[in-house]
Amino acid sequence: MDAHEHTVLERLSNGLVKENPIFKLALSMCPAVAMTNTVRNGFLLGLAVLFVQVASNVTVSVFRRFIHERIRIPAYIIIIATWVSVSDMTLAAYAPGFYKEIALYVKLIVVFAIIISRLEVFASRNTVWPSFWDGMGMGLGFMFALMLVGCLREFLGAGTLWGVEILPFKPFFFWSLPPAGFFAIGLIMALFIWLERRFNAWRAKR
Amino acid sequence: MKEFLRIALNLLIISLVSAALLGLVFTRTENIRKHNEQARLETSMGRYLDPSAGPAHYARIHRYLVERPGQAAAVGYVLPVRGGGNAFLLLTPGGEVLSATPLDGPVDDEAERDATLARALPGAAVHYADSYILALDAAGHRMASFIQGRTGGFKTWVHLLVALGPDGSVKGLEVLHHEEDPGLGAEIEQEYFRNQFAGRTLDELRKLGVVRLPLPDDYRRCLERSKWAARGLDPQREEDVCARYGHEDIHAITGATISSRRVTEGVKRLVLAFVKRMEIVERTARSAGLEPAF
């Protein structure tokens, strides 16, 4: 692959739609199921993932010639773990309110499949700039998917959106429970793919 | 062999750079994090103090379990004494005085405290148990007591701060840290759950249980104090509602009975143990020749 093939827009749309981490690649489903019972949770986790993905992508693409082929997996894990710890400590010190809400999940980002898979598939074979935008696209795609699932579950489960009361009661409590995450993701995934196909068919016809 | 060296060197350098970066970030952030935690604790405590009584100063008491070679286990309290300085009061588990020694070093930080205690009690092993904070006014009268402790939640520890009035009744409950499920057990943070504890006397607390009944609507409204103004409700009427329901058992959070029960048990255990221990400390400190600063 060559750097010239990757425009900024193409990288962003790739992460958001074409290879959306949740709806198309179906990677990192555990956090997506566990964390998405509110929109805010989805947004906060998405933000943390965005940072780690971009920082790891850039680091790996800078040092890709230095990292020996045989030990690339341990090397990637060290790089991801470093950035996760950096964000963990920085958030705890400078954004304690924000950290309090996502402390539980930040440390788990180390094992998110989406991050290491982008390092392996993209950042290890591309230069810094496209890798940066690939990380941005993937991070934003992840955040977008999490927030969408969070919207559905928060509205149906708690009757609120971003903590703001929309309905004065909790319509379907089931949607707040972890198993409902699977249903929510499945439903939105189906809708997402259906819409994308419709759009592609429409574009092909034009 | 050359390949082996290259791989080893490669990984070593990556690890070293990573370690250096983490070390740097840690030294830059650790003090700020501790400071934030302290500030948060003091803000939480300040909420339960009457601002008209003037600024409060805090007396901190730390409880330790002490093991001395060849002797029975003992309980030790680090407590501030009148006129400045701190002392270490060593008691048997039954509440008999073993010794009382003045401490000659700083005790603010946990590491400082460990060092000071190691000098005061050579050869003994001390294990930190918990801390109590007393808020005193300028004349040295107790305005409120704060208990920092933890209770097992649904998953891991739930760290609580219980505020008590001078008469020993609960003024409020703060959840400092927890890892309960969002949307379920995490609701223990919400006002409508925490405020159910406010106003409970010691006798009520002893009998306090948890019921799995839906929270009555008018009670919920009076528990969610921060929303009062926004909802335009009459505070006096709400006060009456709170007083009516405020002596019943705790209403569990929907779908999180275990978290509700564990927090309730935790509050009961922490408060009752605190009252008993403070009684022993106050009684024994004077008989051991100490003049506590509270």
Pick from A20-34, B165-179, B203-217, B228-242: least confident: B228-242
Whether A1 shows a pLDDT value over 50: the answer reads no
b/e per residue, B124-135, with b = 16+ CB within 10 A?
bebeeebebbbb
* Alpha carbon distance B196, B176 (integer Å): 17
Looking at residue B232, what is its pLDDT?
56
**3-state DSSP: chain B helix, strand, coil percent, rounded to 5?**
45, 25, 30
- Calculate the average pLDDT of chain B: 88
Give SS3 for A59: helix
Strand segments, DSSP code E, in chain B are 57-67, 74-80, 86-91, 97-103, 125-136, 142-152, 157-164, 170-177, 210-211, 250-251
Give SS3 for A9: helix
Q: What is the sign, positive or negative, of the torsion defined by CA atoms of B19, B20, B21, B26? A: positive
CB A45 within 8 A of CB A28: no
At A78, which amino acid appears?
Answer: I
Provide the chain B residues 167-186 that lie in CB contact (below 8 A) with chain A.
177, 179, 181-184
At B61, which amino acid appears?
Answer: I
Residue of A nearest to B18 (CA): A82
Q: Determine whether the interchain pair B7/A89 forms a contact, defined as Cβ–Cβ distance below 8 Å.
A: no
Question: Which one of A75, A79, A158 has the shortest CB-CB distance to B183?
Answer: A158
Which candidate in A64, A65, A71 is best for mutational testing of the B interface (most B CBs within 10 A)? A71
Q: Whole-model pTM above 0.90?
A: no
B-chain residues near A78 (CB < 8 A): 11, 14-15, 18
Residues forming beta bridges with residue B89, ordered by sequence position: B77, B100
Distances B216 to A21, B53, B132 between C-alpha atoms, Å: 43, 35, 35
Q: Give A65's contacts (C-beta < 8 A, 6+ positions apart).
A: none
Question: Each residue of B250-282: pLDDT tens digit?
Answer: 999 888 899 999 999 999 999 999 999 999 998
Strand segments, DSSP code E, in B137-238 are 142-152, 157-164, 170-177, 210-211
CB B13 within 8 A of CB A76: no
CB of B14 within 8 Å of a chain A CB? The answer is yes
Please give the radius of gyration of chain A, using alpha carbons only, rounded to the nearest integer: 18
Which candidate in A63, A65, A89, A154 is best for mutational testing of the B interface (most B CBs within 10 A)? A89
**Reported confidence tier of residue A2, pLDDT bands at 50, 70, 90:** very low
Neighbour count for residue B18 (Cβ, 10 Å): 19
Which candidate in B5, B9, B10 is best for mutational testing of the A interface (most A CBs within 10 A)? B10
3-state secondary structure B114-165: HHHHHHHCCCCEEEEEEEEEEEECCCCCEEEEEEEEEEECCCCEEEEEEEEC
Question: Each residue of B55-88: pLDDT tens digit?
Answer: 888 899 999 999 988 888 999 999 998 888 899 9
